[in-house]
Structure 1
Amino acid sequence: MNAHISQKELAEQHLLEAAKEFQKCMQCGKCRSVCPVFKEFGNELYVARGKNKLAEKLVSGDLQITKKVESAINECLNCKTCSTNCPAGVSPEHVVLRLRWYITTQKGLHFFKALIFRQLLWRKWPITLGCSIVALAQRVLFGIGPKNPVRYLFPLFGFAKRRNFPQLALRSAQSILPEVNPAKNGPRKMRIGYFTGCAGNLIYTNVAKSVVDVLTAYGHEVVIPKKQKCNGTPVLSNGDYEGARRLMQHNFDLFRQYDLDAIVVACSSCGMSLKKEIKVFIDDSPELQEFTGKVYDINEFIEQNLEIKPEQLGRLPYKVTYHDPCHMVRGQGIKDQPRELLKMIPGVEFTEMKNADTCCGSAGSYCITHYETSIKINDHKIKDIQDANVDMVATGCPTCVMHISDNLAQHDSKENVKFVVELLADSLRAAKTI
């Protein structure tokens, strides 16, 4: 879409794009049987069919944007389960996103969202500095345990007192790792760009290190552009069309400067953003097709390009199950590759849990803005994990790791949650391969 059109024209475009989708709806109600939010509330407004009706009335002018309408539109995980199961081929999440963008063009972006999306994420250093300060505070104040009195302050910031937060990194991955990480063990095979994502950079720095260690050990050079910014998906999901466009354009222009053979991500939402959602904002061209064609989820890239031999792997004595992130299994069609990597590791006893591909309820910022609902949805996931009788849950999404870890702790459950690439790197380290 043209970035230089007026807000009125942009709003009209959003509604027209939404209309292309909701007009295909047969009103069969199939979405009611699969929507995680509907299962908790039983409210027709919160299911895809209901949102299609809201969109139809907004387009026709029979309905105005009220708090109730806005609330119903925001009750969506963007888990894509309804799209996958729709017999008419409707993509309700596209309707929801268009409506959120439409509301923003009509009502404006909330002050705090504008501050975060258009200032802090864009400038980047305030977020990095803020995370380092919080990381220090966590180690000083929050490390005592669940009875720490500091928890009574959580509600002042909009967080549930019982919530368990991941430990932020004192130093970001991008400050620890060099921009260019040379290949080990021989000449370079490929030059790979690594999009760390915000969580990989500021929280799960061991994941970033694992990605670099694995790829360089198998002869690939890894480049981590220091000026990369948020992938734009959280901004997109919250209705800020302009903020998302700006971030995606920046990353597109930045990574194209490095003459890369491939771009890897270790976050399901980052992968979906760089492969698919970027096409909403940047006009289709050979350059865009070349860029999106180079993007791989790390599990996908390893499975296709690394020849890992059994003797290169060390034993990890874990019982492991796998949770499919929505933006990986439905957003990118990646399902078998992570499982194959886990089954490859000596000592790992893999068990497929029930409903492995159902949403865990995190949905990025949804577990912040709708925490109680997201926990109710996650309770089903916790039961399936417990029934699998494992030591560990492996996955490929930072917010899934955060949310599942939080609720496992609330249930006093023993299971740990890790990224697949972390386990693979641990196995290679155990064999002293890396």
Structure 2
Amino acid sequence: MVKHQLAYSETLNCVQCGYCLPSCPTYVTFKKETHSPRGRINLVKMAAEGRISYKDMEDSIDLCLGCRACETACPIGVEYGKILESAVAAIAEQREQEMTVRNRIIKSMLLNHVVPKNRILNAMGAGLAIYQKTGIQKIARKSGILKIIPENLGEFEKVLPVVQGAMQKRKRQKHYDPNGKQLYKVGFFKGCIMDTMFSSINTLSIKLLQSIGCEVTVISEQQCCGALHQHSGEIATTITLAKKNIEAFEQYHFDFIVNSIGGCGAMLIEYEKVFADDPEWAERAKQFSGHVVDISVILSKHDLPFTKEIISTVTYQPSCHMTNVQKNVKAPLALLKQIPGIQYVELQEKDMCCGSAGIYNIVKYEESMKILNNKMKYVKEINPEPAIIVTTNPGCHLQMKLGIEREGLKNEIRTVHLVELLSEACGISI
């Protein structure tokens, strides 16, 4: 018996107007009503009323990217995110009951004993660095041995970032003084996957914050934000991680809690919703989230010490959760346009999801690639051809790199995080 309650009352607010349809990547790509926001809302509504089973809505819910562009498009403010999360949790609970013991153990290990554990993630990062630096990666690629792994994993192996983080993290301090007069006291949220795969971006973020006068602290007590767990329906673990982060940062007095990860930032500012049934924790979550900002928000308010021109055409692929949840649209663009030498060219339909969406591009690889193909069509249409695609989230970063690889454009276009481009223009290196 599934106990998780669907967000039924929220489904009643949808008037099925269709304003959301052009903003939905799965509807635009697959042209099916069941793969649209209003179609999914209707399925959840019917499931809550007992007119269909939870299994009847599984395929539609599984195919949703969770980009929440429909919320931005909706003229009456339907809480699609809440409806989706309730459906994901209910389906996950049902699957848990049907899952074999072996698969249940594997899922628990990944979500509860790998992603939230810094020690294990550090070991994985060190292993990846060894794989890259000792020549094993070159041998594996030349030998063709990678062909025996699933296609989706083999494709992503081609675009893995060069992992430099293991040594950086060992050298990382807890406290960093500002360059010059102190402007803000900042707590830096480093993330889990971000600090494993893209630790150099975190290091550059800290240096950029120092450059404008921030005192930066990287507290060791912080945990995974819980986004992957929430998107997988693991609500109990999500709540546990949220509580640990709130308790950890409450011990300090920061002006801002800063991150450079679109997806994590979106999760952190919505902690209050995780505690909808717990007023005491909801209030604590609200206080915590009130201090959370993306790094672009802080940097855009102050003059960066630019020392170098970037002579290149640049376009920007926003993170969906940055745009649709954090509502941070202007700051990244303002920063880009400040960089000396760049020619900014807007990407057509830039607000359409690239198809990354957490681990969507792994578990729904074929569908993700169809969505990515739509995105790359617009990248190729830009004239002159863009030399740099800027992102603000690690998942988007890898997805766009994969798109470039698939289109045979890796010698013409590079993908960078906004922090990397700003650091380059400021002469800041790791």
| RMSD over aligned Cα atoms | 2.4
- Correspondence for 2:40 among 51, 55, 69: 51
CA–CA distance in 1 between the matches of 2:39 and 2:282? Answer: 36
The Cα shift of 1:45 comes to 2.1
- Correspondence for 1:93 among 75, 78, 81: 81
The Cα shift of 1:128 comes to 2.1
The Cα shift of 1:102 comes to 1.5
After TM superposition, the structure 1 stretch with the greater mean CA deviation from structure 2, 339-348 or 174-183, is 174-183
Task: Report the counterpart of residue 292 of structure 2 in structure 1.
Answer: 295
The within-5 A match list for 1:1-80 is 11=4, 14-15=5-6, 18-66=7-55, 69-80=57-68
- Correspondence for 2:217 among 209, 219, 223: 223
The Cα shift of 1:379 comes to 1.2
Task: Report the counterpart of residue 119 of structure 1 in structure 2.
Answer: 113
The Cα shift of 1:138 comes to 3.6
Alignment check: 8 A CA contact 1:79 1:327 kept: yes
Task: Report the counterpart of residue 368 of structure 1 in structure 2.
Answer: 362
Give the counterpart letter for 1:28 in structure 2: C
Alignment check: 8 A CA contact 2:46 2:52 kept: yes
CA–CA distance in 2 between the matches of 1:75 and 1:37? Answer: 7
Structure 1: gaps of 5 or more residues: 1-6
CA–CA distance in 1 between the matches of 2:9 and 2:420? Answer: 42
User: Could you state the TM-score of these two structures normalised by the residue count of structure 1?
Assistant: 0.88
Task: Report the counterpart of residue 170 of structure 2 in structure 1.
Answer: 175
Question: Does 2:421 correspond to 1:423?
Answer: yes
The within-5 A match list for 1:31-430 is 31-66=20-55, 69-108=57-96, 111=104, 112-139=106-133, 140-143=135-138, 149-155=144-150, 159-163=152-156, 164-167=158-161, 169-172=163-166, 173-185=168-180, 187-281=181-275, 283=279, 287-304=284-301, 306-308=302-304, 312-388=306-382, 389-413=385-409, 414-429=412-427
CA–CA distance in 2 between the matches of 1:87 and 1:143? Answer: 52
Give the counterpart letter for 2:53 in structure 1: Q
Change (3 A) 1:343 1:32: closer
Change (3 A) 1:323 1:144: farther
SS at 1:78's partner residue? coil
Q: Cα deviation per residue 1:368-405 (whole Å; 9 max; x = unaligned)? A: 11111111111122122222221101121110001000
Aligned length: 414
User: Could you state the TM-score of these two structures normalised by the residue count of structure 2?
Assistant: 0.89
